[in-house]
Amino acid sequence: MKDERLERLRFQISEDLAAGTQKSVAEYAALFPNQDLLVSRAYVEAHTLGLNILDASDEGEFIGPYRLEKELGRGGQGVVYLAEDTRLHRRVALKVLQGLGPDAKTHLQRFRREAEVASKLDHPGICGVYEAGMAGEIPFIAMRFVEGETLAAITDRAKQAGSSAPSELLSTFFLDARDDETTDASVSAEASDESRDQKSSTRATSVNRKAVNEVLSIYEKAARALHVAHEAGIIHRDIKPGNIMITRDREPVLLDFGLAREETSDLASLTMTGDVFGTPAYMSPEQVRGERGSIDRRSDTYSLGVSLFESLTLRRPFESATRQGLYQQILSSEAPGARQFNSAIPRDLEVVLETVLAKNKDHRYQTAAAFADELGHVLRMEPIVSRPSGPLVKTLRWAQRNPALAVALSALVLCISVGLIVALISLARTRRALAGERHARTEAEEVTNFFERVLQSVDPGIKGADVSVLEVL
């Protein structure tokens, strides 16, 4: 019980420090009465662990050899600063761990793992690590500073603009301004209104497709960078637009390997069966199920496919007001066709998206390189390898994902079919019986009519004389 109170107190102090609402020892003692010793211990630990690094955000402050310039962003346990390495006189992105809370040991392990994983990767499309260490008791990672903005920021601005034509919006962020100026200049100031409308329509179509191609080019490069990480045995596990930085030269750079793991490692000490890691909207079905052993490079490729879908349509393939509803969609629902949200998307690209977002990872692209190759085929208008799934294939895959429901529906269909067959047989018998009855009635009527005609043909002049049947006939 004592340890539980201590952990709760530690977490409260770290949360206050992270929020900038630091309290005095006396104030914490009032919140935890009769626990003066625990309060003093937790307060000292919080400060000696370096949790109170918020004061270091002031320009000119130092963390080790790094002079802080400004804060770039912050997350649950870390703050990223733009800093200068005073030894090599270069700018770096300095990630500092803070707000550890009751799971301090686990957070420190993951922080160190992020540095170890990223340091193994050397590729222009991956944010490299220069150094990792401790400044006093403050853990830090010095990384390459990538100037630009994330795909998440670009997409969010496009969404806020509120257009129903995603590609027109994306052109604002993905196409060079000089391209737009050149296109605008081609419209003569003296042209008629009708001519202007025609040229505007042509330009819109052109810009839409150019914007789609620009997005494809970025994602093709991102997929190839991801493949490099996979070939090094690293699974990212949190691929999303927020972890893809776009530089001023329009080059994608993968960020944040904090949840990454080595493909051959089970990370037993950090990840237990049933744990769910990643950002919910971008997680693969196997991540949602918490199947640690099933998460591999194809899971990352799936997440990259979700990100591409969002960049092209300004919506995610699966959306729900609740996390449980979102998980249910990811596990059970097919991704909608992207063209229904953006008509500028080529049909081949829609097939590529269908493939990369397959529920069963065996039906997806088996490597990020294969995904990149398909995006390249679409860009160059070459034939793609993937083929669209027909109704039968989709039905079979649905049955594989929902075996119990499939069995129940099959039984229902079978019962209905048997009932229908029995009804048809009964109907056929009834029809045959009715037909036989009609035939017998017709014959009887014909016989009756015959004898009526026979009787009517008898000569009244015979007056009781015997007449043979032969004579009558």
- Residue at which a domain ends, from 87, 121, 144: 144
470 located within any domain: no
Shared-domain flag, residues 166 and 102? no
Shared-domain flag, residues 189 and 77? no
- Residue at which a domain ends, from 401, 425, 445: 401
Shared-domain flag, residues 137 and 160? no
Annotated catalytic residues are 238
Shared-domain flag, residues 133 and 174? no
Backbone angles phi, psi at 74, to 5 degrees: -150, 155
Shared-domain flag, residues 153 and 172? yes
User: Quick one: angle between helices 368-379 and 193-231, nearest 10?
Assistant: 160
- Residue at which a domain ends, from 48, 71, 86: 48
Alpha-carbon torsion (296, 299, 300, 302), positive or negative: positive
Shared-domain flag, residues 256 and 322? yes
466 located within any domain: no
Shared-domain flag, residues 226 and 293? yes
pTM, two decimal places: 0.66
Nearest to 96, CA basis, from 121, 123, 124, 72: 72
**CB contact burial 35-66 (16+ within 10 A = b; e otherwise):** beebbeebbebbeebbbbbbebeeeeeebbeb
pLDDT at 464: 59
Shared-domain flag, residues 39 and 133? no
Separation between Cα atoms, residue 472 and residue 230, nearest integer Å? 108
Contacts of 254 (CB under 8 A, 6+ apart): 125, 126, 127, 222, 225, 226, 229, 236, 239, 243, 244
Backbone angles phi, psi at 135, to 5 degrees: -105, 95
CATH code for position 268: 1.10.510.10
295 three-state secondary structure: coil
17 located within any domain: yes
277 located within any domain: yes
Shared-domain flag, residues 286 and 257? yes
* Spans of the chain, pLDDT less than 70: 1-7, 10-11, 14-22, 36, 38, 40-60, 75-77, 99-105, 162-207, 264-277, 389-406, 454-473
CATH code for position 89: 3.30.200.20
468 located within any domain: no
115 CB burial (10 A radius; 0-12, 13-18, 19+): buried
Name the maximum alpha-carbon separation found in the chain. Answer: 149
The amino acid at residue 456 is Q
Separation between Cα atoms, residue 417 and residue 102, nearest integer Å? 61
Shared-domain flag, residues 153 and 126? no
349 three-state secondary structure: helix
Contacts of 221 (CB under 8 A, 6+ apart): 125, 251, 252, 372
Contacts of 168 (CB under 8 A, 6+ apart): 204, 207, 208, 211
Task: Assess contact for 126 and 226: CB atoms under 8 A.
Answer: no
pLDDT digits (tens, 9 = 90+) for 132-178: 888 877 889 999 999 999 999 988 888 887 655 565 555 655 554 33
Shared-domain flag, residues 205 and 238? yes
How many structural domains comprise the chain? 4
Range of the domain at 413: 406-461
Separation between Cα atoms, residue 269 and residue 271, nearest integer Å? 6
Among residues of the chain, what percentage have pLDDT more than 90? 37
Separation between Cα atoms, residue 99 and residue 108, nearest integer Å? 11
471 located within any domain: no
pLDDT at 459: 64
Shared-domain flag, residues 160 and 284? yes
115 located within any domain: yes
469 located within any domain: no
